[in-house]
Amino acid sequence: MTRSAKPVPDDGRDGEVAELYRTHARAVWAAAYARHLDRDLALDVVQETFLRFWAQRDHGGAIENPRAWLLRVAKNLAEDHAKSAFRRNGTQSGESLGRLSSATPPPPDVLEQEELFAAIRELLQELPPADREVLTMRYALDDDAPTIAAALGIPVTAVHMRLSRARQRLAEKLATHGVRP
């Protein structure tokens, strides 16, 4: 045999709240929705409004005109939500959010970097194939000197010399084209 919680005695007022919900929930929802044009928030306001009605009734508060009371509470809740600091700022104050720095560079800096990389790619085409190869392996593939040396079958010191000369030739080309790295 399973044990269950003792039933709460029904004094008939629960049916009253259910009937009020059926009768006025749409109007309460519409009042909240009109303030924010947010369906989910309006549903939250409806739930909170009827919970407050239930609590008011259970604490012995007399409500003469339930529809007017429900609509007023719904409008107040929607208005309170609009004024809340949480809605405006989340869990941080506006001042603290304004002081946060972004992990990404600002758009003008990103655009400048993209233009520089495009110019470098264009000028790389003017370099000899051996220079392009060593620069591509080092900077595009992020290979270190020993890896490049093994791939090209040359000593590590030769890789350093080729990289140095290729960078110098690329810098000269950038300077003649007016590109400042």
Q: Look up the pTM and report it.
A: 0.43
Position 91 scores a pLDDT of: 63
Decide if pLDDT at 102 tops 80: no
Decide if pLDDT at 138 tops 80: yes
Chain mean pLDDT for the chain:
83
% of the chain residues with pLDDT over 90? 36
Position 2 scores a pLDDT of: 45
Of residues 8, 142, 18, 29, the one with CA closest to residue 78? 29
Position 87 scores a pLDDT of: 63
For residue 153, what are the CA distances in angstroms to 132, 146, 149? 17, 10, 6
Delineate the domains of the chain, giving CATH numbers in brackets: 13-91 (1.10.1740), 107-176 (1.10.10.10)
Position 174 scores a pLDDT of: 85
Are 75 and 35 a contacting pair, CB within 8 Å?
A: yes
Which pair of structure tokens corresponds to residue 60? 């012995």
CA distance linking residue 68 with residue 14, whole number of Å? 19
Are 29 and 44 a contacting pair, CB within 8 Å?
A: no
